[in-house]
Amino acid sequence: MNIKSIDLFGKTLLSWVTMDHLVHMPTPMPENEAAFVYVLEGSCVSYSETDELNIVTDQAVLAKSGNSTFRTLEYQGSTKYSAISLRFHKDVLERIYEDTASPFYSESNKKLTVNSVFLESNELIKQFTVSLIYYFDHQEQLTEELLILKLKELIVLLLQTENAPKVLEIMNNLFQTKTFEFKEIVKAHICSSINIKELALLTNHSLSVFKKEFKRIYEDTPSNYIIGKRTEKVAELLLASDDMVSTIAYDCEFKTLAHLSRVFKAKYGVTPTEYRLNSSDKQ
């Protein structure tokens, strides 16, 4: 892993990360920070307390402070990964907008409901991000004024995207810590590809403590409970959609149709296909 960084006012503003091999690691975000991450090459999945975001080349994410975990994925036959991030620090933003109105100011004070948002890139954001590569190798040419301009430029670009309302929500609440409850995090990741160890991290527990707390709340093991809830979700989708059983199985994070059929029959007494047919016969 190779990391290059550029500071503004003594804090990391820009980072460029490159990797040749697959990695899997926690990526907690400190309080009063948010980060824009643009993938230049490769693919990754990022888990926050309430979201699973799959990102590939030329896509981006905006994330606020909170627990998170991250893994890179093989993409188009390659394990290489490269991404540039720009961090928004509360005190840096206060400093650069000290004499002018912040573009994030809102009288609505809408409460934060998410900690991250997927951003479909456009040509302006792509060219902005690619242009940053030059600065990492020519840092002697950088000034505070130039870095402030780049920071403000990205803010303007983000507020012109289709996800501008979500961007505003996250940035407006940059100074507000949102605490997600244990059950809220578990519910958000029932049909996520996250593993139990990663889920424990998002709840800010060690694996052993997480399992004990889970048992206390749900009176079941994490694995049994999650499989049961996924099976219930499959049953719901079988009646609510016309999607193939295999598609529903995949969407609910069952790795094989055989596994779904086995646990589904154990719970409902019939296979998923029979369950759908029986429901159709009753209508």
Q: Give the pLDDT confidence of 178-205 residue by residue, as tens digits.
A: 667 889 889 999 999 899 999 998 888 8
Pairing of strands 68-73, 24-26: antiparallel
Contact between 84 and 35 (Cβ < 8 Å): no
**Using 50, 70 and 90 to split pLDDT, how confident is the model at 250?**
very high
pLDDT at residue 109 above 60?
A: no
Length of the chain: 283
Domain annotation covers residue 251: yes
What is the amino acid identity at position 193? S
pTM equals 0.72
The mean per-residue pLDDT over the stretch 39-44 comes to 96
Say which residue, 181 or 260, is predicted with more confidence.
260
pLDDT at residue 61 above 60?
A: yes
Domain annotation covers residue 159: yes
Domain annotation covers residue 97: yes
Q: CA 258, CA 272: separation in Å to the nearest integer?
A: 11
Please tell me the predicted confidence (pLDDT) of residue 165: 84
Question: 215 and 146 in one domain?
Answer: no
Q: CA 79, CA 77: separation in Å to the nearest integer?
A: 7
**Using 50, 70 and 90 to split pLDDT, how confident is the model at 268?**
very high
Kindly give, in sequence order, each residue whose CB lies less than 8 Å from that of residue 193, ignoring residues fewer than 6 positions away. Answer: 45, 52, 253
Question: 101 and 154 in one domain?
Answer: yes
Label residue 23 exposed, middle or buried (CB < 10 Å: 0-12, 13-18, 19+).
Answer: middle
Question: 165 and 26 in one domain?
Answer: yes
Q: CA 185, CA 212: separation in Å to the nearest integer?
A: 16
- Among 150, 172, 194, the domain boundary falls at 172
Domain annotation covers residue 177: no
Question: 6 and 64 in one domain?
Answer: yes
- Domain of residue 275, CATH code: 1.10.10.60
Q: CA 251, CA 225: separation in Å to the nearest integer?
A: 18
Question: 137 and 54 in one domain?
Answer: yes
pLDDT at residue 111 above 60?
A: no
Which 8-state DSSP code applies to residue 97? T
Range of the domain at 190: 182-282
Say which residue, 65 or 199, is predicted with more confidence.
199
Most confident of the ranges 24-28, 96-100, 212-216: 212-216
pLDDT at residue 110 above 70?
A: no
**Using 50, 70 and 90 to split pLDDT, how confident is the model at 90?**
confident
The mean per-residue pLDDT over the stretch 30-34 comes to 80
The mean per-residue pLDDT over the stretch 263-269 comes to 95
- Look at residues 194, 186, 190 and name the one whose alpha carbon lies nearest to residue 217: 186
Please tell me the predicted confidence (pLDDT) of residue 65: 72
Question: 265 and 166 in one domain?
Answer: no
State what percent of residues in the chain have pLDDT above 70.
92
Question: 186 and 159 in one domain?
Answer: no
Domain annotation covers residue 106: yes
Question: 213 and 107 in one domain?
Answer: no
Say which residue, 12 or 64, is predicted with more confidence.
12
pLDDT at residue 247 above 70?
A: yes
Domain annotation covers residue 25: yes
Q: CA 100, CA 97: separation in Å to the nearest integer?
A: 5
Domain annotation covers residue 49: yes
Number of other CB atoms surrounding residue 147 within 10 Å: 20
Domain annotation covers residue 73: yes
- Among 141, 172, 203, the domain boundary falls at 172
Question: 52 and 9 in one domain?
Answer: yes
The mean per-residue pLDDT over the stretch 31-50 comes to 90
Pairing of strands 2-8, 24-26: unpaired
Please tell me the predicted confidence (pLDDT) of residue 33: 85
Which 8-state DSSP code applies to residue 114? -
Please tell me the predicted confidence (pLDDT) of residue 114: 63
Q: Which two tokens stand for residue 182?
A: 């244990």
Question: 149 and 191 in one domain?
Answer: no
- Secondary structure class of 85 (helix, strand, coil): strand
For Cα atoms 164, 169, 171, give the angle at the middle one, nearest 5 degrees. 90
Please tell me the predicted confidence (pLDDT) of residue 4: 96
- Mean pLDDT, the chain, whole residue set: 88
Question: 209 and 135 in one domain?
Answer: no
Question: 167 and 44 in one domain?
Answer: yes
- Secondary structure class of 200 (helix, strand, coil): helix
Cα Rg of the chain, angstroms = 22
In DSSP terms, which residues pair with 64 in a beta bridge? 34
pLDDT at residue 274 above 60?
A: yes
Please tell me the predicted confidence (pLDDT) of residue 279: 79
Distance of CA 101 to the CA centre of its chain: 29
Please tell me the predicted confidence (pLDDT) of residue 119: 85
The mean per-residue pLDDT over the stretch 224-248 comes to 94
- Domain of residue 71, CATH code: 2.60.120.280
- Among 123, 144, 172, the domain boundary falls at 172
Q: How many domains does the chain have?
A: 2
